[in-house]
């Protein structure tokens, strides 16, 4: 579905144009066309390929729309695939935006995500002195918007981790904490898969041999590179903290099991003494001490209760009960 198709010249918007007019505006000096598509059909991508002379392999990647984040160079044009990560309730969802950038065009294809880039377009149009850098600046603005959307996701995951950490030492919560930590680890890994590949790819846009389309905006891509590094460092810290929290929870499980084992052993010891007394006095012998004592039965019960009471007090004092 076509969202926007706009022509710009020297940083200023000329007009909204139709797809059929694209080829005419591409011939105008200092003019570029910015097209935005949502969940594009194959026929739409083929039409864009004809208008912008896109590489077939890049178009195929955009059609598959399940790409690892990457930036590939095809002659004077670039193809970038980036993941759109956002929080949907308590879960993390992943969409994708594929961007084709040439000297006189920008084509973005958004998939499986309802958050558009109208704010990016408005921002660019408010800064014509920056938009005059051409398609390269639009590419930066789109990438910057994608990366900025990672920060709220990171904040939400950090808040979730802090909430779990507060529950770690609450008795009986170890199992649920471990389940929540593993679920959180999955979410953090999803964000990591979106960020980590872009770091190396973005570094190619501001140092060394920079692609022609990004030559005038290399310092802007350095800013994106710094943001990605900050996010990646936070992700790694979270992964380490989650690993530590899992180990602590496993230790808590072991401690709780040890407490149960000690409690069972203490009660077993108490009942073992009672069983020993009953076993001795319950033997069927004619000649046996205390066999014909008038108060033998209450004395035996008193002795059993006394010894069991002493053992209970000792185990209680030792912390086993």
Of 146, 169, 202, which residue constitutes the final position of a domain? Answer: 146
What's the distance, CA 139 to chain centroid? 25
* C-alpha span between 206 and 182 (Å, rounded): 37
CA angle 145, 90, 61 (to 5 degrees): 45
Under a CB-based contact definition with an 8 Å cutoff, are residues 220 and 152 in contact?
A: no
* C-alpha span between 50 and 61 (Å, rounded): 16
Q: Mean pLDDT in runs of 10 for the chain (321 residues)?
A: 90 91 90 93 92 92 87 91 92 93 94 88 91 92 95 95 87 83 94 94 85 87 94 95 88 74 74 71 61 66 76 72 66
* C-alpha span between 261 and 255 (Å, rounded): 10
pLDDT attached to residue 72: 92
What backbone phi and psi angles, to 5 degrees, belong to 14? -85, -60
Q: What beta strand segments (E) does 133-277 contain?
A: none
- Domain annotation covers residue 100: yes
Q: Are residues 142 and 263 in the same domain?
A: no
Of 89, 118, 146, which residue constitutes the final position of a domain? Answer: 146
Extract the tokens encoding 190.
């999803």
Q: Are residues 10 and 136 in the same domain?
A: yes
- Domain annotation covers residue 159: no
- Three-state SS string over 21-64 comes to HHHHHHCCCCEEEEEEEECCCHHHHHHHHHHHCCCHHHHHHHHH
Which pTM does this prediction carry? 0.80
* Closest listed residue to residue 273, CA positions, set 239, 304, 232: 304
- Domain annotation covers residue 15: yes
Q: 14 CB contacts (<8 Å, ≥6 apart)? A: 6, 7, 8, 25, 31
pLDDT attached to residue 178: 87
Q: Are residues 140 and 264 in the same domain?
A: no
Extract the tokens encoding 79.
């193809």
Number of structural domains (the chain) is: 2
Which helix (H) or strand (E) segment is 261 a member of?
Answer: helix 218-281
Q: Are residues 142 and 273 in the same domain?
A: no
Q: Are residues 2 and 135 in the same domain?
A: yes
Give the tens place of pLDDT for each residue, 117-136. 889 999 999 999 999 999 99
* C-alpha span between 199 and 176 (Å, rounded): 35
- Domain annotation covers residue 210: no
Give the tens place of pLDDT for each residue, 94-115. 999 999 999 999 999 999 888 8
- Domain annotation covers residue 116: yes
Q: Are residues 271 and 140 in the same domain?
A: no
pLDDT attached to residue 158: 94
- Domain containing residue 124: CATH number: 3.30.460.20
Of 114, 146, 178, which residue constitutes the final position of a domain? Answer: 146
- Domain annotation covers residue 187: no
Range of the domain at 130: 1-146
- Domain annotation covers residue 195: no
- Domain containing residue 276: CATH number: 1.20.58.340
- Domain annotation covers residue 289: yes
């Amino acid at each position: 579905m076509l969202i926007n198709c706009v022509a710009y010249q020297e940083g200023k918007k000329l007009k909204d144009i139709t797809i059929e007019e694209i080829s005419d505006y591409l011939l105008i000096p200092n003019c570029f066309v910015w097209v935005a598509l949502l969940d594009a059909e194959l026929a739409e991508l083929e039409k864009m390929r004809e208008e912008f002379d896109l590489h077939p392999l890049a178009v195929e990647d955009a059609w598959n729309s399940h790409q690892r984040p990457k930036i590939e160079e095809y002659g004077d044009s670039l193809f970038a695939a980036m993941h759109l990560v956002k929080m949907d309730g308590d879960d993390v969802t992943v969409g994708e935006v594929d961007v084709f950038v040439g000297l006189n065009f920008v084509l973005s294809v958004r998939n499986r995500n309802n958050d558009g880039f109208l704010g990016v377009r408005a921002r660019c149009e408010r800064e014509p002195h920056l938009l005059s850098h051409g398609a390269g600046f639009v590419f930066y603005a789109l990438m910057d918007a994608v990366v900025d959307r990672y920060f709220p996701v990171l904040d939400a995951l950090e808040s979730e981790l802090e909430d779990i950490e507060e529950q770690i030492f609450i008795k009986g919560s170890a199992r649920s904490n471990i389940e929540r930590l593993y679920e959180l680890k999955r979410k953090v890994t999803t964000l990591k898969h979106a960020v980590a590949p872009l770091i190396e790819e973005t570094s190619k846009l501001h140092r060394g041999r920079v692609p022609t389309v990004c030559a005038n905006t290399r310092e802007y891509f350095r800013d994106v590179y710094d943001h990605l590094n900050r996010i990646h460092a936070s992700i790694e810290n979270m992964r380490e903290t989650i690993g530590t929290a899992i180990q602590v929870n496993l230790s808590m499980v072991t401690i709780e099991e040890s407490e149960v084992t000690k409690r069972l052993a203490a009660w077993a010891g108490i009942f073992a003494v009672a069983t020993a007394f009953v076993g001795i006095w319950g033997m069927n012998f004619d000649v046996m001490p205390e066999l014909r004592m008038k108060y033998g039965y209450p004395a035996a019960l008193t002795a059993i209760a006394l010894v069991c009471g002493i053992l209970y007090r000792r185990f209680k004092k030792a912390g086993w009960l």
